[in-house]
Amino acid sequence: MPTDRSALAIILAAGEGTRMKSDRPKALHEVAGRSMLANVLTSAVAAGVNRVAVIVGPGRDDVGAEARRCIPDVQIFVQNERRGTAHAVLAARAALAEACDDLLVLFADTPLVTPPTIEALRAALAEGAAVAVLGFEASNPFGYGRLLRDAAGGLIAIREEKDASDDERIVTLCNGGLMAIDGAHALRLLEKIDNKNANGEFYLTDVVELARADGRKTTVVIADETEVLGVNDRIQLAQAEAIAQLRLRRAAMARGATMIAPETVFLSADTEIGCDVVIEPHVVMGRGVKIADGAVIHAFSHLEGASVGKGASVGPFARLRPGAALAENAKVGNFVEIKNANVAQGAKVNHLTYIGDADIGANANIGAGTITCNYDGFLKYRTTIGDNAFIGSNSSLVAPVTIGQGAYIGSGSVITKDVAPDALAVGRGRQMEKAGWAATFRATQAAKKAKNR
C-alpha cells in the first residue's frame, strides 16, 4: 500500500438501532470492550487513513463525543433525514470537497473489519480502480445486495434484493457495504446518484454503474463473511463478540501466551499480554489491562485497568480494579481485591484481603483478612506500607496511615496512627479470662430452656 496517498474515511453512524431495544445508539454498543464505532475508527487509522468524518443522527452528541474521544480532530456531520446511504455520505460534503486520493465509506455497525482489508480497498484504487467494493461469498445471500461481474471479473453493478431479477438473486457474491472511491471523482459521482428504485432512496451502490458509464474501472475486494458481519440486534452483537474474542485469543497465543481453556477467557481489544503468560480458565479482562512476560493469571479472576508485572501471580478468584499495579514477582491470591494501589516487587497479598488506595513496599507480607480503610464517606485517603513490613491477619489500616519499613502489625489490630520502621504495633482490646464462666453459662441457659418447655 503506497504510503504517500491521502485518505478520507467517512463512517456512517447515524443508525438508532431500534432492533437493539436500547436507549443507547447502535454505534455505542460494545464489542471486545470498546464501542463498535471505536473499533471501526481504530481499524481505519491503522490502515493509514489521515482524515476521518463521522455521520451522526440528529441530537446524537454522544456518538460525536465518542468519535472525538478516539480521534480528537475528527469531523462530525449530522444526517437530518434518512434517505439512503449516498445521502448519508453527502452529509459530509464539506469534507468531500477537500482533496484526497482515497475515499473510504465504512459503517459503525460493521465492527469486525480489519486494517488489512481496508488497506486492500485502498490498494485497489492505487492500482487504477475508480471504485472498489468489499464483497463476500454469502452462505445465505437473502437480503444482501448482489455483486454482478462481467466475464473478466470486473464489477458491473450492485443490485439490491428488492431490485434484483430472479437470475441475479442466485448470485452468492454479496455486497459487504464498505467501499473505496477515487477521491478525485468521488463528489461528482455521488452527486449524480438518484433515487429511482423500489425504496425511493439514494443508494451508494449506484456509484458503481455511474463510474462504469464514465469508462472507469470498478472492482471487488473479497473478504471473509465474518469480517463484514453487520450488527443490527443483540443476537448479531453476541455473534460479533464471539468472533472478536476468537481473534484476540488466537493473537495472544500466537505471541506466546498459554490459555488452558481459551474459549472461557474474555479479553478486551486493548488487552496487552506478554509471552510465557499463563491464563487459566474463566478469566475476564476489562479495558486497560497489561500483563508482562511470565505472569500467571489463575482461574476465575477479573482484571480491569490493571497492570501485572513480570512473573507476578494473580488469583484464583482475584479482582484487580482500575489503578491496580503489580510489580515483578508480586503475588495476589484468592479472594483479594486491589484498587488504585501499587504492590511492589515480591510483595504478597495472599488471601481474603482488600487493598485500596495504597502503596505496598517490596517483599511486604499482607495477612489474610487485612483491609485498608480508605474512605470516610466523603474523601479517599492513602495507606503506605514500607518494604519488608508484616501485616498480621485480620488487621484494619485506617488511612491516612504509614507503616514503616520492616514494621510488624499484630493480628487483629486496628491501626489509626503511623508506625515507625521496625516497630511492633498492636491495636486491639486487652484479653481477659474468667475461670469457669462457660460452664456456669451453659448450666444457666439449660435450666432456662427446661423451664420454658
Please list the active-site residues: 351
Instruction: Give the separation between CA 324 and CA 302, rounded to whole angstroms.
Output: 12
Mention every residue, 6+ apart, whose C-beta is less than 8 A from residue 278: 257, 258, 260, 295, 296, 297
- Alpha helix locations (H) across 35-178? 36-46, 61-70, 85-90, 93-96, 115-126, 166-169
Residues forming a β-bridge with 355: 338
Q: Are 255 and 135 in contact (CB under 8 A)?
A: no
| β-bridge pairing 272-273 and 34-35 | unpaired
Instruction: Give the separation between CA 29 and CA 5, rounded to whole angstroms.
Output: 32
Cis peptide before 111 (omega within 30 of 0): no
3-state helix, strand, coil in the chain (%, to 5): 25, 30, 45
* Core vs surface per residue 221-257: b (16+ CB within 10 A) or e: bebeeebbbebeeeeebebbbebbbebbbeebeeeeb
Mention every residue, 6+ apart, whose C-beta is less than 8 A from residue 339: 321, 322, 323, 324, 354, 355, 356, 357
- Among candidates 284, 326, 290, 317, which has minimal Cα distance to 305? 290
- Among candidates 48, 97, 102, which has minimal Cα distance to 75? 97
